[in-house]
Structure formats: C-alpha cells, structure tokens
C-alpha cells in the first residue's frame, strides 16, 4: 500500500449499483454513483458514503463491517463477496458493478429475500439434537480434540449465502437445500454429541439435498470462512452411499447416516 | 447477471413485489471455473463413447479379422484421438477432487490432500504401466 495519505485526494471512483424500488412500479435499473477513492475503503464504505451523502434511498444490509456477521454479501463485478472485505483498491480505477446476491429474489435494491434459506436450515435441523438426554447435574457432554476436529471447519459458517450465489445448481433449482444448509447439517451429523442424523436424513439425503449437487465446487471457492461446503456435501454422499449398501446387505438394520464420529 | 426480466411473479401480493432474476442460458461462460466444470461434465460423453467402442471390440474377440478391421478403421482411430484428451481431462479433474470426497483422519489431522490425490495418480500409473507391459510382451499369446 502506498504510504501517501489519500484522504485529501480528489480521486474518485464510480459504482454502478443495482436499483429496484418495488413501490415505484419501475423495472430494475442501474444507477452510477461517483464516490471518493480511498485506498483503505471497502465497497461497503463506498455504499455507506452513497447512502449518507448522495442518495438516502439506497437500501442494503450490513452490520459488523469485519467479515463476521455475514450480512453484507453482494455481487461485485459478478462475484459473490462480502462488501466489507472487498477493497476499492483492488478494482481502482475501473468502475465497480454492485448487484444483490444472484439467484435470490430481490426485495429492494441490494436486499434479497432470504426466507427460503432460513426455512431450509429449519428443515435440515441445523442444531444439536443430543444423542442422550442427561440432567444438568451430570455435567457437560465431553468431547476429545479429535472429535472436535471432525466438524470444526463446518462451524465457521456465517450464513452469508455467498455459496448459494456461486451455485448454478441453486440458480436452476431454488428448492435445492444448498451448500451452507447441507454443510451445517453435516456439522451436526459429525458431532459426537449429536444423535439427530436420522431426523436430518430425509431432507439431507433427498433429491433436493445432497444428490442435487453436481460438484461444481465454486461454493467452496467463494466461501469467506473456508467452510468448504462442497467437501461437506461429497462426504455426505459417501456416508449416504455406504449406508445404502449396508441397509442392502443387512435389511434388518436401521438406516443411520451419521457416519463415523 | 442480466436484469432483463422485470416481470414479477404471480404468487401472491408479497411475492408479486419481488424481482426474480432469470439465470442466463450462457451462465457457464460467465466464469472460467464454470466453463471448466462444463467441460469436465461433457468429457463423460467421450469416456462413454470410448467404452462403447471397447464393448464393440469385445464382441469381436472370437473373430480376429473383424476385430482388426474395427481397430484399424479411420473412424475408430479418429474416435480414440478425440477421446484421449477428454479422458485425460476427465481423470485429472476428478483425481484432483478426490481429497474432498475421501477424508482420512489421523487423530486431529486430516491426511494431506496431495497424498490422497497422489495415491490415485500412482494407481493410474501402475495400471497403465501394467497394461503397456502386457501389450508389449505380446499379450496373452506372448
């Protein structure tokens, strides 16, 4: 980075921003805004500048500004990114195109409707279903570092939905359970304290679940937290296939798809 | 992403106000990774085509002349030249993905991906070397 102070600089940069105002009854359009260029600014800073100084009608989601909350995901020049982590200097002096996350319905401007994503997490039951109920007096559920290691990567998901916008399968079939929800299902299935694999199996191992995935692999490439949902889905396919063979060889055996924990 | 479809859905008042964007038919040209993926998927046609060719050869195993005529036909030679690069691309891309599918734990650590993929490449080499040796040594007759 240059040591010179760019704060007083008169350099500017153009942002081409997707606009959709449902109450106006107009079709969506792009609006170009000119913002000051600063090499320590991210795209979110530029959007905040637009909102504060140029056009207060622009709507978008954001919260933490530090790549943790997962609210500010948008398409930047066609790539799903967290706008709080995308620096203007990586695009300067070219114009930046900002659009709402691909494949999701747009409610207004850069805000997408994430209801289906939330519903899918509910269907997959992305929470801990204890393998054994025990009273609080009996203490905590213990886990070894090796047991933790098996699912820890998948706990890093911040529900930013960038993976969905990188997934052409989701683009073609909005009912696909999708990368993040499956990775989170896998996160609990692989947890030694969890016993909910059977309850998740119907959704996770359905045609709209793991078998819809054709392993494009871009979900893992765009993930800001290195969750590797593509890996999670393929591992789940292996588990489901093994279970199928086992149930085939041993018909009396109950279906269980938690895999080895 | 194209914004040409401004048509709202007809699924109730809330949904009607949403803007649904259509996936462009040329989505796979928008990113090199998508194109590589599409090529990987299309390679299966050539791998399948070569498998058909092998089956046709197998059906002529008891007729040496028909076997050699098929093997030497320009169409068959052409097919093999076209199928070879696709089959190699197919194998390489899938072998490179094996570490994502096959995860082996050693305590708290995963076995490194290059070992998993490397084992597949080593197996491929061994089988290929075996076949070449078998063919060079005159096959079953030698």
Q: What does the pLDDT average to over B10-34?
A: 81
**pLDDT tens digits, residue range B122-134?**
999 999 999 999 9
Is B21–A27 a contact, with Cβ atoms under 8 angstroms apart?
no
Is A217–B97 a contact, with Cβ atoms under 8 angstroms apart?
yes
For residues A100-111, one letter each, b for 16 or more C-beta atoms within 10 angstroms of the residue's C-beta and e for the rest, the string is bbbbbbbbbbbb
**Nearest residue on chain B to A236, judged by CA atoms?**
B101
**pLDDT tens digits, residue range B95-124?**
999 999 999 999 899 999 999 999 999 999
pLDDT on residue B25 = 93
CATH for the stretch A12-112: 3.10.20.30
What is the helix (H) or strand (E) element at residue B125, kind and residue range?
Answer: helix B113-136
**Nearest residue on chain B to A109, judged by CA atoms?**
B19
Q: What does the pLDDT average to over B86-96?
A: 94
Which of B18, B30, B34 minimises the CB distance to A106? B18
Going by pLDDT thresholds of 50, 70 and 90, the confidence category of residue B5 is: very low
Is B34–A230 a contact, with Cβ atoms under 8 angstroms apart?
no
A102 touches chain B (CB under 8 A): yes
Is A107–B17 a contact, with Cβ atoms under 8 angstroms apart?
yes
pLDDT on residue B3 = 42
Asked if residue A96 lies in contact with residue A88, where contact means CB atoms within 8 angstroms, the answer is yes
pLDDT on residue B15 = 58
Going by pLDDT thresholds of 50, 70 and 90, the confidence category of residue B11 is: very low
pLDDT on residue A25 = 84
CA distance A28 to chain B (A): 7
CA distance B32 to chain A (A): 11
B10 DSSP 8-state letter? -
Longest dimension (CA), chain A: 75
In chain B, which residues have their Cβ closer than 8 Å to the Cβ of A228?
Answer: 100
Is B3–A28 a contact, with Cβ atoms under 8 angstroms apart?
yes
CA B59 from centre of chain: 25
Distance CA A23, CA B3 (A): 18
What is the block-wise mean pLDDT of chain A (261 residues), using blocks of 10 residues?
54 96 91 96 97 97 96 97 97 96 96 96 96 88 94 96 97 96 97 94 92 96 96 94 86 56 59
Specify the pairing of strand A106-108 against strand A111-112.
antiparallel
- Where on the phi/psi map is residue B72: left (φ > 0), alpha (ψ -120 to 50), or beta? alpha
pLDDT on residue A257 = 53
Is B101–A235 a contact, with Cβ atoms under 8 angstroms apart?
yes
What burial class does residue A142 get, using C-beta atoms within 10 Å of its C-beta: 0-12 exposed, 13-18 middle, 19+ buried? exposed
**pLDDT tens digits, residue range B26-80?**
999 999 999 999 999 999 999 999 999 999 999 999 998 999 999 899 999 999 9
Distance CA A165, CA A81 (A): 10
In chain B, which residues have their Cβ closer than 8 Å to the Cβ of A99?
Answer: 1, 3
Q: Minimal CA–CA distance to A157: which of A135, A124, A203?
A: A124
Asked if residue A197 lies in contact with residue A242, where contact means CB atoms within 8 angstroms, the answer is no
Does the pTM of the predicted model rise above 0.80?
yes
CA distance B1 to chain A (A): 7
Distance CA A131, CA A175 (A): 29
In chain A, which residues have their Cβ closer than 8 Å to the Cβ of B103?
Answer: 231, 235
Specify the pairing of strand A79-82 against strand A73-76.
antiparallel
What are the sequence ranges of the domains in chain A? 12-112, 115-249
**Nearest residue on chain B to A168, judged by CA atoms?**
B27
In chain A, which residues have their Cβ closer than 8 Å to the Cβ of B20?
Answer: 105-106
Torsion of CA B124, B127, B130, B131, to 10 degrees: -100
What is the helix (H) or strand (E) element at residue B110, kind and residue range?
Answer: strand B109-110
Asked if residue A204 lies in contact with residue A120, where contact means CB atoms within 8 angstroms, the answer is no
A174 touches chain B (CB under 8 A): no
End-to-end CA distance of chain A: 46
pLDDT on residue A259 = 52
B19 DSSP 8-state letter? B
Which of B18, B37, B103 minimises the CB distance to A113? B18
Q: Minimal CA–CA distance to A227: which of A146, A144, A160, A147?
A: A160
Q: What is the ipTM of this complex?
A: 0.86
Torsion of CA B28, A184, A173, A70, to 10 degrees: -70
Q: Is the pLDDT of residue B7 over 60?
A: no
Is B100–A20 a contact, with Cβ atoms under 8 angstroms apart?
no
Distance CA A148, CA A172 (A): 35
CATH class of this structure's domain A115-249: mainly alpha
Distance CA B51, CA B1 (A): 39
B28 DSSP 8-state letter? G
B85 vs A259, higher pLDDT: B85
B24 DSSP 8-state letter? P
Contacts of A59 (CB under 8 A, 6+ apart): A108, A109, A110, A111
A168 touches chain B (CB under 8 A): yes
**Nearest residue on chain A to B38, judged by CA atoms?**
A216
* Three-state DSSP string of chain A: CCCCCCCCCCCEEEEEEEECCHHHCCCCEEEEEEEECCCCCEHHHHHHHHHHHHCCCCCCCCCCCCCCCCCCEEEECCEEEEHHHCEHHHCCCCCEEEECCCCCCEEECCEECCHHHHHHHHHHCCCCCECCCCCHHHCCCCCCHHHHHHHHHHHHCCCCCHHHHCCHHHHHCCCCCCHHHHHHHHHHHCCCCECCHHHHHHHHCCCCCHHHCCCCCHHHHHCCCCCCHHHHHHHHHHHHHHHHHHHHHCCCCCCCCCCCC
Asked if residue A114 lies in contact with residue A104, where contact means CB atoms within 8 angstroms, the answer is yes
């Amino acid at each position: 980075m240059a040591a010179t102070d760019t704060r007083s600089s008169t350099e500017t940069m153009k942002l081409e921003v997707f606009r959709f105002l449902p109450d106006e009854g107009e079709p969506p359009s792009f609006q170009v805004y000119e913002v000051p260029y600063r090499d320590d600014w991210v795209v979110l800073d530029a959007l905040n500048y637009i909102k504060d100084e140029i056009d207060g009608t622009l709507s978008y989601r954001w919260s933490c500004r530090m790549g943790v909350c997962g609210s500010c995901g948008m398409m930047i020049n066609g790539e799903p990114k967290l706008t709080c982590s995308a620096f203007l200097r990586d695009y300067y002096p070219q114009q930046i195109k900002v659009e709402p996350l691909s494949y999701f319905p747009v409610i207004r401007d850069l805000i997408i409707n994430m209801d289906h994503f939330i519903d899918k997490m509910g269907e997959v039951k992305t929470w801990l279903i204890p393998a054994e109920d025990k009273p609080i007096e009996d203490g905590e559920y213990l886990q070894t570092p090796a047991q933790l290691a098996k699912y820890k990567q998948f706990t890093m998901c911040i529900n930013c939905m960038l993976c969905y916008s990188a997934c052409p399968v989701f683009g073609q079939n909005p009912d696909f359970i999708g990368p993040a929800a499956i990775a989170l299902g896998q996160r609990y299935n692989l947890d030694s304290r969890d016993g909910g694999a059977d309850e998740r199996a119907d959704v996770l191992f359905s045609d709209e679940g793991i078998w819809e995935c054709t392993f494009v692999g871009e979900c893992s490439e765009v993930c800001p937290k290195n969750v590797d949902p593509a890996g999670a889905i393929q591992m789940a396919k292996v588990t489901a296939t093994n279970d199928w063979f086992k149930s085939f060889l041993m018909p009396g055996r109950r279906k269980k798809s938690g895999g080895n924990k | 992403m194209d914004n040409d479809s401004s048509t709202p859905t007809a699924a109730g008042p809330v949904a009607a106000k949403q803007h649904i964007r259509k996936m462009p038919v040329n989505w796979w040209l928008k990113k090199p990774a998508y194109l590589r993926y599409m090529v990987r998927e299309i390679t299966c046609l050539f791998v399948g085509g070569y498998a058909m060719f092998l089956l046709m050869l197998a059906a002529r195993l008891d007729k040496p002349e028909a076997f050699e005529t098929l093997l030497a036909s320009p169409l068959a030679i052409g097919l093999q030249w076209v199928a070879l690069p696709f089959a190699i691309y197919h194998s390489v891309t899938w072998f490179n993905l094996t570490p994502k599918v096959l995860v082996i734990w050693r305590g708290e650590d995963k076995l490194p991906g290059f070992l998993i993929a490397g084992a597949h490449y080593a197996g491929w080499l061994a089988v290929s070397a075996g076949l070449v040796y078998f063919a060079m040594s005159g096959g079953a007759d030698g």
